[in-house]
Amino acid sequence: MRLPQEIIRAKRDGRTLDPAEIAAFVEGLTEGRVTEGQAAAFAMAVFFRGMSLDERVALTRAMTGSGQLLRWDLPGPALDKHSTGGVGDTVSLALAPMVAACGGFVPMISGRGLGHTGGTLDKLASIPGYDVAPDLDRFRRVTREVGCAIIGQTADLAPADRRLYAIRDVTGTVESLDLITASILSKKLAAGLNGLVMDVKSGSGAFMADRESARALAQSIVSVAGGAGLPAVALITDMDAPLASAAGNAVEVAYAVDYLMGRGREPAFHTVTLALAAEMLVLGSLAVDVSEATAQLETALDSGRAAEIFGRMVAALGGPVDLLADPGRYLPAAPIVRPVAPGSAGIIQSVATRVLGLAVIGLGGGRTRPQDGIDPAVGVTQLARPGDAVGPDRPLGIVHARDEAAAEQAATALRAAYRVGEAAVEPSPPILEHISS
């Protein structure tokens, strides 16, 4: 019998774990024999000591095999996208119906917020009635009938990851390349996909703040996925500024609805969403190249087909049938809405994007403990980006808060996050690198 504490000690001391040790620890995590403290200690040991490629593969396989494995019988490819997370990263809500409108099927299993980043699941949970944890039969049915279904990780799929994921969020181990790789791919492999596109963020609002770390993670994901038989590519995208101008939960759903309905398509968000979705269509052999895929996606947006599919998905999973027509009727709204003026007029030189994410948590829009609840109404909107001119008529952003004290605290954080000057600024390109096997 391999005791959890001995496996932890071995990794703490820098020894390479064999597949049997990793499998034993994951089995104990799944069955509850590994305590929360032991799971946290294991995560910290891996964070500091790292894992070899073989260890990563073993951990991924063990976590994949800790629960049920889905098999699909669909008239098209099962495709998915995963992001390492950032601030204003609302892409999944728009991308899934766009890909579905082009013939793909997107059974997307998403997570809650990690650290300073928002989670797709928390955003969808702000829609009244939306079932973020349906049983697998409903998940299968909605995916087949609508073309996409975005849900949370169920107890049946990769349950070992579900437990470790929550512990990583509150133990300072979110950024571990090894744990990120295993966490992402265990869920995706269990979901029975035909192709995966990875969005690895790099910049001040990313877990992998520097390009080298982002590249290492992208290569790790692509290598481990390929070794497990899952075709994958990765894009490294910019997170030196919020991707969308909204950060929060309900405010990001509203942003995605506006995007799908054509009421607002900000250039950086549009570029990243199209690029990721196009790679998915190419992986699924639904387009011969990215150029053809992009044209298909633009048509899906402009025709209203993608918006229609999003509305059908929401309704099929228990949400309101007319969310697209009147989102303000259903999405929760904060009682305090306050513009945040800069200290002086000028041009945004840079953004400490992580600070903006932490400001959302401070408002109540994120967690500091796994059991914490979230206020879906709070957040920030109309966030400025580098190169934007700000002043009396153009705030840094608009705070949506539950009370005056929280609003003031968030306003202080926004002013601290932005550096304003006089020089013109050329924004970073949204897509930084393409990684394939």
Instruction: Let me know how many helices (H) and strands (E) the chain has, helices first.
Output: 17, 13
300, two tokens: 């899906």
* CA 141 to chain CA centroid, nearest Å: 24
| 340: exposed, middle or buried (Cβ count in 10 Å: 0-12, 13-18, 19+) | buried
Question: What φ, ψ does residue 231 adopt, rounded to 5°?
Answer: -60, 135
Closest to 386 (Cα-Cα) out of 357, 413, 346, 354 = 346
* CA 171 to chain CA centroid, nearest Å: 19
Residues annotated as catalytic (active site), given as ranges = 80-83, 120, 168, 183, 187-188
CB 150 within 8 A of CB 93: yes
User: For residue 4, what are the CA distances in angstroms to 18, 40, 64, 343?
Assistant: 14, 12, 19, 53
Closest to 396 (Cα-Cα) out of 408, 386, 409, 382 = 382
